[in-house]
């Protein structure tokens, strides 16, 4: 009887193990366990039970846990809950836009990504070049890389305290004046000569006009005695258009010493404007060894035309005994003489005073210094 009970218990245990193992080997559920074959003996039952139990512990699926460490494939999985950990590795397909993806797994390197509606995302056709701007194409168009530019027809107002410009190229005419501090200026189209300055006509019109001081190419005067050589007292460079039709040049000189040794001695003076030479006066004396001191002035005046001028030379002296073209007083000597020129003042010219003595004597000659020339408009 004892042996019969043992046999029956073993039989039912085996049936239970086989049934349990069969449940866990259903397709898609549980794990693979060792099967009982017809050749197995009851004496092997204990070993078989232990083997199956171990296999079930290793590959079992329990509803009480949150992890399935050996699960690698769920071909027919349809729904999952919220995922809050883990990561994705390689070999995934692009996630479509309709379910929150980008639609691509390899966007082009360095290119800007843009929305493309139902198609997901697209990328710019180029990376652009260094310094370009990402510019909107407007409604219904893709943005793109463009070179910076401004609309030259728009009005701009820069309100900063400093606006630096390296090179300014601007048109300033009556139609397009340069406005500075609410004052409109229009500039000449050509640069002026070095001896001119920019002047306004009171209405914003700027022109290049001669400066008030003329440039001289001589020293501060001349002192000639004991010589009959012609001596240039001064030479002024007269820029083109400096006289115009009503301008003038005034030159003032200090006469520190003018002597004639005898009644036969003569001092000649000659004005030369643009090659037009005029002998202005002859100085002689009725009193030998007389000395004259004073002022000599020379003027060149436009005669209402660019091709006509008048020149004058004036001498104011103090000393009795000097005769200037028959003018003689006890204490003073005064002389003025004029001549005409027909020189084109629209071209640059020279204006000079040349003097010489008729004899080479120590008591006949002149000393002139402190020469100042100015332009008078």
pLDDT in tens, 20-79: 444 444 444 566 777 777 777 767 777 777 777 777 777 666 665 566 666 778 888 888
Residue 48's pLDDT is 76
For 140-183, what is each residue's pLDDT tens digit? 888 999 998 888 888 888 888 888 888 877 777 777 888 888 88
The answer to whether the beta carbons of residues 224 and 366 sit under 8 Å apart is yes
What mean pLDDT is predicted for residues 199-223?
A: 73
pLDDT surpassing 60 at residue 305: yes
pTM of this structure: 0.48
What mean pLDDT is predicted for residues 337-363?
A: 91
Query: What percentage of the chain reaches a pLDDT higher than 90?
Result: 12
Strand partners, 355: 231, 269
Residue 21's pLDDT is 47
Query: For all residues of the chain together, what is the average pLDDT?
Result: 78
Q: Of 344, 244, 354, which Cα lies nearest the Cα of 301?
A: 244
The answer to whether the beta carbons of residues 367 and 256 sit under 8 Å apart is yes
pLDDT surpassing 60 at residue 123: yes
Residue 136 CA to residue 42 CA, distance in Å, equals 85
What mean pLDDT is predicted for residues 230-248?
A: 86
For 243-264, what is each residue's pLDDT tens digit? 888 889 999 888 888 787 777 7
* DSSP codes of every residue in 296-320: EEEEEEE-SSTT-EEEEEEEEEE-T
Confidence of residue 332 (pLDDT cuts 50, 70, 90): low
Residue 35 CA to residue 46 CA, distance in Å, equals 14
């Amino acid at each position: 009887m004892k042996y019969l009970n043992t046999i029956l218990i073993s039989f039912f245990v085996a049936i239970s193990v086989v049934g349990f193992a069969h449940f866990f080997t259903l397709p898609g559920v549980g794990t693979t366990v060792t099967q009982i074959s017809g050749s197995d003996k009851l004496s092997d039952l204990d070993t078989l039970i232990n083997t199956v139990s171990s296999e079930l512990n290793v590959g079992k699926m329990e509803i009480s846990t949150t992890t399935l460490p050996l699960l690698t494939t769920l071909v027919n999985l349809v729904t999952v809950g919220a995922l809050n950990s883990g990561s994705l590795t390689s070999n995934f397909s692009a996630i479509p836009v309709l379910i929150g993806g980008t639609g691509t797994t390899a966007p082009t390197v360095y290119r800007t990504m843009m929305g493309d509606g139902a198609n997901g995302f697209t990328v710019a056709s180029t990376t652009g070049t260094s310094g370009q701007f990402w510019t909107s194409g407007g409604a219904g168009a893709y943005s793109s890389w463009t070179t910076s530019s401004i609309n030259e027809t728009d009005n701009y107002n820069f309100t900063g305290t400093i606006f630096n410009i390296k090179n300014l190229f601007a048109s300033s005419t009556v139609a397009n004046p340069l406005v500075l501090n609410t004052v409109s200026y229009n500039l000449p189209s050509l640069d002026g000569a070095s001896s001119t300055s920019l002047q306004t006509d009171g209405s914003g019109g700027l022109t290049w006009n001669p400066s008030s001081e003329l440039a001289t190419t001589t020293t501060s005067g001349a002192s000639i005695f004991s010589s009959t050589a012609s001596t240039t007292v001064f030479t002024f460079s007269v820029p083109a258009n400096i006289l115009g039709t009503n301008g003038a040049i005034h030159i003032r000189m200090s006469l520190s010493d003018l002597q004639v040794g005898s009644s036969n001695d003569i001092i000649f003076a000659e004005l030369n404007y643009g090659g037009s030479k005029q002998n202005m006066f002859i100085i002689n004396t009725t009193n030998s060894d007389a000395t004259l001191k004073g002022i000599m002035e020379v003027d060149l005046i436009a005669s209402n035309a660019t091709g006509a001028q008048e020149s004058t030379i004036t001498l104011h002296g103090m000393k009795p005994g000097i005769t200037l073209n028959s003018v003689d007083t006890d204490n003073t000597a005064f002389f003025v003489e004029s001549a005409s020129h027909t020189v084109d003042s629209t071209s640059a010219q020279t204006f000079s005073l040349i003097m010489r003595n008729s004899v080479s004597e120590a008591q006949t000659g002149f000393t002139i210094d402190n020469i100042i020339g100015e332009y008078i408009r």
